[in-house]
Amino acid sequence: MDISAVEFNSRYKNQDSFFIIDVREELEYQTFNIGGKSIPLGILLRNTEEIDFPKDAEIVIICQHGLRSETARRALSKNGYNNVRNLKGGILALRKIHTYS
């Protein structure tokens, strides 16, 4: 299931309760991030059973464009996480509607 940049931005600003996993590479994360747990996609795919979030928690997966995050969402869903969402359009979509500092 996807979450739009507009919905994510609103919920993020309202400090709604959800976890964020950023699946970009470490250099991408260090260059610009909005918080959340940095787990590059390759590591996440090798270690999905080691993710330390509750299986029923809402988790939003983010990346640059929304492609890697969709791959991660599918992997987590297959491993019993039942409320995982992909940020459609990724960080780029967020930056178009809001400037994060």
**Could you tell me where the DSSP H helices lie in 1-101?**
5-13, 26-31, 41-46, 67-78, 90-97
Q: What is the pLDDT of residue 37?
A: 95
| Alpha-carbon distances, residue 5 vs 26, 41, 95 (angstroms) | 22, 20, 9
User: pLDDT means per 10 residues in the chain (101 residues)?
Assistant: 94 93 96 94 90 92 97 95 96 84 49
Q: What is the pLDDT of residue 100?
A: 59
Instruction: Please state the CATH superfamily assignment of the domain spanning residues 2-97 in this structure.
Output: Rhodanese-like domain (3.40.250.10)
Q: What is the pLDDT of residue 52?
A: 85
| Alpha-carbon distances, residue 35 vs 22, 47, 78 (angstroms) | 8, 21, 25
Q: What is the reported pTM?
A: 0.92
d(CA 56, CA 68): 22
Q: What is the pLDDT of residue 69?
A: 98
